[in-house]
Structure formats: C-alpha cells, structure tokens
Structure 1
Amino acid sequence: MKRWDGNWESLAEAAERKASARLAETDTIAERNQWKVLEAFRKRKVSDFHFAASTGYGYNDRGREVLDEVYADVFGAEAALVRPHLVSGTHTIGTALFGVLRPGDEILFVTGRPYDTLHKVIGKPGDGTGSLADWGIRSKEVPLTAAGAVDWDAVAAAVTGRTRVFAIQRSRGYDWRPSFTVGEIAEMAERLKRLKPDAIVFADNCYGEFTEEREPTEVGVDLIAGSLIKNPGGGLATSGGYIAGRKELVELAAYRLTAPGIGGEVGAMLGTTRLIFQGLFLAPHLVGQAVKGSIFAASVFEELGFETHPGWRDPRTDLIQAVRFDSAAHLIAFVQAIQKAAAVDAHVVPEPWDMPGYESPVIMAAGTFVQGGSLELSADAPIREPYIAFMQGGLTFAHVKFAVRQALLDLKQQDLL
C-alpha cells in the first residue's frame, strides 16, 4: 500500500487513461447486448398493451407470456420464467433446483463451495426446514484447484449414478477466485456432459448477465437462474427473478414456483410488467456502466498498491470487484464510504451484523432505490480474514468514480491510507 498525496484529479486521470482500452471494450459489449435485446423486443412485437396489470389468477396475461418469450430469446434458451414473485436470487436458484431434483438425486457443485446464502437451501439431513437434504437430495462440492480452476480429476471421482445436476457458480461470491467466463463455462458444460450425458448442467448466473456477448444457455448450459434486482432488471425492476433454459426444465421449475398442473400459466404481475420490460431494455447499457466503474476502481486501487481481483487488465464476466485490505478497520471504512457516496441513505452508517443466511458478521453498503438492488452501487464484506471488500454495481460510471473518491478521502482522513 502506498501513501496517497490527496490529488484525486491526477490519480483518476491516470487510472482512466491506463484502462482506456478496457473501458472502450466494455462499451462495445454493451452495444452488442443492446442490439440483442432490441431484436428480441422487435421479434416478439412488444407493445404498450403488454404492460397492463393483471390481478387474481392472472389468466391469459399476454404481457407476462411475451416477457417470458423475450427473456428466452435474449438468453438463447428454449423457454424462460420471469416473475416478480421470486423474491431473491437464492429463492430463484432454489426454485430451479427443487424443480428438477427428486429424493435420492445428487447435486454436485463443481466450482467449489457455493455462495453463503445457498447453504441453508442445501441444508443437512433431517434439519426439518424443507432443504434439499431434508428431502433426501444429497449435495457434494468439489473444491477448486489452487489456481482457481475446476479440479476435473476430483469431479470425475465424485460423479455417481445418483448425480442428477452439475452446478456451476459463475460469480466469485465471497471467494478470492476468478469468476468464470462464458467461454470457460462452455468448456465445463461440454466436459460435464461427457462425464454423465443424462445429468443437467445448471449455472447460477447472478451478476453475470450482459457482461459478455454470450450467456451460459447459449453455450451448452441446460438451465440458468438469476435475480431481477441484479443485472437484468436494469435498476427498474422492484422484485423478481428469472429461470431460463430447456423447455421441460423451466416447466418443472414453474411447477415448483406455483403448483404441479399450474406452473407458469397463472400469476398476476401486479403492475410490474412495464418496469421489468423497461429494465431489461436498459440493462445492457447500465451493466456496461457498472463494469466500467469496476475497471476504474481496480485501476485506482492497484495504483495505490492494493491487491484487486480481477485486475483492471483482466477480462470481466460479472459486476463484482474485490479489493483486499490490511485490516478490519480498512474494510469497514471502505464499505462505510461507499454508503456515504450513495444517493439514498447517504447519512446512514452501516455496521457489521449477523445477517440471516451468512456465516460471519457482514457489513453492507446499500444506498439503493430498490432495496438490495445490486446493479446499483453497493458493497459488502464478511468481517473475517482475509479482509476483502466486494463492490458491485453502479447505474452510472460517474457515480462509481465519485464513490471511489469518497473511499480514498475517508481512508486518508482516518490515517489508513
């Protein structure tokens, strides 16, 4: 870590100039994804009458049906299920997994230990919570290699006749490891299907949508899930999630969301349809803004001697920027500064707390218009060694730059920089 002289303009200009090629590449990806979304809207003839609210059972809600079709097209999938009733990414992933798994089946996580909030979904035998384990579904995880790659020998050894689902977590979660690019996921899908052709390849796509020109369902993954208050909601969707992939698998997930025999045929959208459509339209551009902010942040912090993951030169496949600090004090000061830079609740000072679903005290900065909306600028960190902050989102590049500046000023004021 280097001492900072406090000259923000000079530091920011140097960081942006250094990363200019990566920033331009991000603009190109955003543009291509914008075209892809537009083509889907045009193909499905989206019209303003599709935005009408439905009530009760929501029978024959044409807007809801077209929304599913648009999402399927955008993600290169046979079918999609897009609903405001999915309350989080964890709920959406759980719905997909419970939909396709049965008692006696086994799920194998090939990218190591999944994100903290999924641990309770996996559960333990007899825990009485209705977890996968409580339903007799066994879960195994294969740790990544020291280099952060899939350990293919260990994966092959872990496969059994009961293996029904191979699970891939695209994003790093709370780990100091690379997130997996769509190209890497394509290779995983191919190898996994050679290991067990009748198994389902599932990917947790949270934080990854529109960061590259392709999605996992375009390269061999059978089923994906994600949250609308992350990338694809475009900062406008106020709740919800999506599941996309092979038609029969999406249908099974729909039966889990509602009930067998009902599936996706009902579900009043309660006035959310326009925001979900419009959010999807905006998502490629806004994701690009957030990615540019992450690249800029990495460039700034590397200039000051901090270790970042990914580095500013590295390919991007999700929104998350990890920065390693020297102490809990650095970590807490950084997250509190991100909150201070927010448009909403900037006056609030976050503190570490035992958040439900997490295994260590967590500090979260989330001054967002949509509660928990992590396409908006936010940051969080478990208070444990190594002291790593995970920053994500930013609806505008300018906002991320403002927040990085605030973080440096606060660290310097507290004599931590």
Structure 2
Amino acid sequence: MLQKPYFHIAPEVAEASERALCACAPAFDRIDRQTEQNQQKVLCAFIENRVSESHFVPSTGYGYGDRGREVLDRVFADAMDAEDALVRHSFLSGTHTLSVALFGVLRPGDKMLSVTGIPYDTIHSVIGLRGSGQGSLKDFGIAFDSVALKEDGEPDYDGIEQALDDAVKMVYVQRSRGYTLRKSLSAKTIGEIARFVKKKKPGVVVMVDNCYGEFVDEAEPTAYGADLMAGSLIKNPGGGVAPTGGYIAGRSDLIELCACRHTTAGVGREIGATLGHTRELFLGLFHAPHVTGEALKTAVFAAGLMKELGFAVTPEPLEERHDIIQAVKLQTPENLIAFCQGMQAGAPIDAFVTPEPWDMPGYDSQVIMAAGAFTMGASIELSADAPLREPYAVWMQGGLNFHSGKTGVQLAATHLLQLFKK
C-alpha cells in the first residue's frame, strides 16, 4: 500500500529532511538516554510519595486539608531535585510565578542582581525597567542591576564579583536564551555561579528562571546549589496536559515565603482550592520527561533541516542543549513571517489561521506567533515566535510528539521556499 501524501512537502525539503535525520542520529540517541533517566526519576517520585487516586479529589472553598495538593508539592519537589515546592493552577503564567517568587523573597532596600544580562521582556515591568506606579519591585524600593554574559555566552565572574555589593540579596539567573542568540545555561553552570557568589557573599539567594529547561539536563539547578527556581506548567513540566499553572521549587524556608506571597501572610500554602485540577497536574508531570524529549528531538531536527537549507541556527544540530528552544536566523522580516505562517499551517488547532505581527502586551516591538495549541500559549506544544527586529531570527520550541513536530517544521520550511520562488 502506497503511503498517502497527507501534506505537500517541497521536494527540496523532503530531501534535506532525510539528510538532517541521518546527521542528527547521535543527538537523538543522547536525548533518549536523558529522557529515560528523567522519566525514572519522576516515576520514583510518584511511587515514593504513594500517589493514589484519592489525591485527585477536588477541593472547594478554602481548600483546607487538601491531601492531593500537599502530595503534588512533594512529588514536584522530588522531581525537581529540591527540598520543597509550591505547585498551583492559580499561577497564571511563568511571569506571574516568577513575580511571586521575587516579591516573596525580596524586601525594600534589597537589590536583585541578574548575572545573565537583562532578563526576558515580560519580566521588565515586574522589575520596574518599564512603567511605574503599578507595584513593581522598583516601586517598593527594591533595586536592580545586571551583569551581561561574556561574548562566548559564559558567566562574567569578574563582573559579578564587582557587582556583588552589600545590598545584593538575590542573584538571578535566566537559564534560557529568551529572544537572544546566546547559549542557554546548563544546570551545572548555574551551580558554578551559585558556588561563586555564595563564596563571595554568603547568604545571597540564587534564583533561577527555569522556564524551558526542565528535564533537559540530568538534574535541575537546585541539585547544584541554586536556592530557588520557578517555571510554567504550560511549558516542559506540564507535559502538554496541565491547562495552566506554575511551580516554585527550592529551599523550604524560601518556599514558605513564596506561599505567603501567593496567598496571604500567616496562611501560606494551607489554603487554595484545587477545583479538580490536581489530576491534570499530576498527569502532566508524569508525561513531562517524555514530552520534553520529543520537543528536543523536534528542535534538533529543525536545526538540521534549516542548516541543510542554508540558514544559520543556534544551537547547532549536535550541540548539547539546556533548553528546548531552537533559533533560526531567517535574515529578513518576510522570511520570518513566512516561516511562522507555514508552521501555523501544520498545527492541529487553528491551522487555517494566518498569523500576523501585532503589538503584544509586555513586548517592546511587534511580535509574530505561530501557536496552534490545545492549551493557549503552551510553548511545550509546537510553536514559533519572534519580535520583528534584527536579526530577524525565529525562536521555535515544543512538539508534543516528534512526528507531528517534524511535519510542522517541514511545512514551515516549504512555505519559506515558496516565498523564494515567487
């Protein structure tokens, strides 16, 4: 029986895909080994914490004594190599989760020092780099400073040492590249940063924006000395199942401060109705290592294919990865738009929609997003987005399973080549 051609893939793209798959085989093998280790870690966390069907029962009202909520926190803590965790569907986004952690730990007169340069766009208004009078850290008398990474993407330890003045309470690390072309940081590198700053300034809190990085390495940053980290459940740790939410993991005393910020002082984590979401969050975490592995394979394939087609990519196809993001330098705004529109055409949801650049809240330039997802904004599902500004690179991520992710990437490349032929 002949295989039915469900999609039109340009012959050049199909041929380049076969070459890319062959070249990427070593990376796929490495991802499979890492995925198995992380899947075993998560399975072990479920078993050791005696997860049962009774933990899926919803609570309402205040949610006092919700056993499922309490056990979910413990399972997440074990899966994230942390002492404790706070996992809630009521965290509205990764930015909201990070904001709760920042306000939970920092106090007026403290300083937050980012050692990976200026953080991702959406956190700017939380810090106070943009806007005023809306309750930013700056409005509350919390200062901010930053030290850029060196040109090779490594931490600038000399610069960090100079910036570690008496006011610095928190050293902040953004693990992923955001809308830049720098390298993402490994959990081990973050551990080296933690050891360095604690030696120079004991008592400083090392906090990590861990978005896009969960289950990519053999362990999380908290295993190497980070005190606190946070992320979104509609990225890696939600496994494509969690419909919303976020997590904070790390030292128990810091988690308690964050819980009091999330709810109210004196009550902390003891309240919060789960409203029937607990099962989804458990199930999402269980699937998370495998789904993250599928997203990594999709990213590796995209790097290999686009490189075969003559475009610069970062990371390179066989390069070690520490997040799920793949950047492709598309050179012009027209190429960028065409790539995103082609990827949208391969989405399971809203494939008929044509994405266009728009003024997205929280960003300082127009942004185009291809994201036909079951969960709105879920970047563990195949998506591609970018601000319309130089170097006109696209940042893509996700893929619930490799085979659909591969098709989406091929359609994006086909759409791009059609632009050249016009």
Normalising by the residue count of structure 1, what TM-score does the alignment of the two structures yield?
0.97
Equivalent residue number for residue 24 of structure 2: 19
Encode CA deviations 1:241-274: one digit per residue, 9 max, x unaligned: 0000000000000010000011111100111000
Q: Write the distance in 1 (CA, Å) between the matches of 2:157 and 2:217.
A: 25
- Alpha-carbon distance change, 5 to 58 in structure 1, aligned in 2, over 3 angstroms: closer
Q: Write the distance in 2 (CA, Å) between the matches of 1:73 and 1:415.
A: 50
Equivalent residue number for residue 88 of structure 2: 83
Equivalent residue number for residue 323 of structure 1: 328
Q: Write the distance in 2 (CA, Å) between the matches of 1:183 and 1:159.
A: 21
- 3-state SS of 1:186 partner: helix
Equivalent residue number for residue 147 of structure 2: 142
Equivalent residue number for residue 167 of structure 1: 172
Q: Write the distance in 2 (CA, Å) between the matches of 1:26 and 1:152.
A: 31
Contact 2:332 2:392 in 1 (8 A): yes
Following superposition, the deviation at residue 12 of structure 1 comes to 1.4
Contact 2:124 2:130 in 1 (8 A): no
Letter in 2 for 1:366: A
Q: 1:298 aligns with which of 286, 299, 303?
A: 303
Equivalent residue number for residue 382 of structure 2: 377
Equivalent residue number for residue 6 of structure 1: 11
Equivalent residue number for residue 208 of structure 2: 203
Encode CA deviations 1:276-316: one digit per residue, 9 max, x unaligned: 00010001001000000100110111112211010011101
Q: Write the distance in 2 (CA, Å) between the matches of 1:124 and 1:31.
A: 41
Equivalent residue number for residue 221 of structure 1: 226
Following superposition, the deviation at residue 355 of structure 1 comes to 0.6
Q: Write the distance in 2 (CA, Å) between the matches of 1:273 and 1:407.
A: 36
Contact 2:16 2:309 in 1 (8 A): no
Equivalent residue number for residue 254 of structure 2: 249
Q: Write the distance in 1 (CA, Å) between the matches of 2:14 and 2:312.
A: 22
Contact 2:26 2:318 in 1 (8 A): no
Q: Write the distance in 1 (CA, Å) between the matches of 2:414 and 2:369.
A: 19
Contact 2:88 2:246 in 1 (8 A): yes
Q: 1:341 aligns with which of 331, 338, 346?
A: 346
Q: Write the distance in 2 (CA, Å) between the matches of 1:125 and 1:38.
A: 42
Equivalent residue number for residue 31 of structure 1: 36
- Confirm whether residue 44 of structure 1 aligns to residue 58 of structure 2: no
Q: Write the distance in 2 (CA, Å) between the matches of 1:194 and 1:365.
A: 44
Following superposition, the deviation at residue 416 of structure 1 comes to 6.3
- Confirm whether residue 282 of structure 1 aligns to residue 277 of structure 2: no
Contact 1:231 1:375 in 2 (8 A): yes
Contact 1:126 1:133 in 2 (8 A): no
- 3-state SS of 2:393 partner: strand
- Structure 2 portions without partners, runs of 5+: 1-8
Following superposition, the deviation at residue 7 of structure 1 comes to 3.4
Equivalent residue number for residue 314 of structure 1: 319
What is the number of equivalent residue pairs in this alignment?
A: 414
Q: Write the distance in 1 (CA, Å) between the matches of 2:209 and 2:64.
A: 30
Q: Write the distance in 2 (CA, Å) between the matches of 1:363 and 1:191.
A: 39
Equivalent residue number for residue 418 of structure 2: 413
Q: Write the distance in 1 (CA, Å) between the matches of 2:315 and 2:388.
A: 21
- Confirm whether residue 105 of structure 1 aligns to residue 116 of structure 2: no
Letter in 2 for 1:291: L
Q: Write the distance in 2 (CA, Å) between the matches of 1:328 and 1:211.
A: 31
- Alpha-carbon distance change, 5 to 362 in structure 1, aligned in 2, over 3 angstroms: closer
- 3-state SS of 1:173 partner: coil
Q: Write the distance in 2 (CA, Å) between the matches of 1:373 and 1:290.
A: 12
Percent same amino acid among aligned pairs? 52
Following superposition, the deviation at residue 195 of structure 1 comes to 1.7
Equivalent residue number for residue 187 of structure 1: 192
- Residue range with higher mean Cα deviation, 292-301 or 124-133: 124-133
Q: Write the distance in 1 (CA, Å) between the matches of 2:277 and 2:284.
A: 11
Letter in 2 for 1:179: S
Following superposition, the deviation at residue 126 of structure 1 comes to 8.9
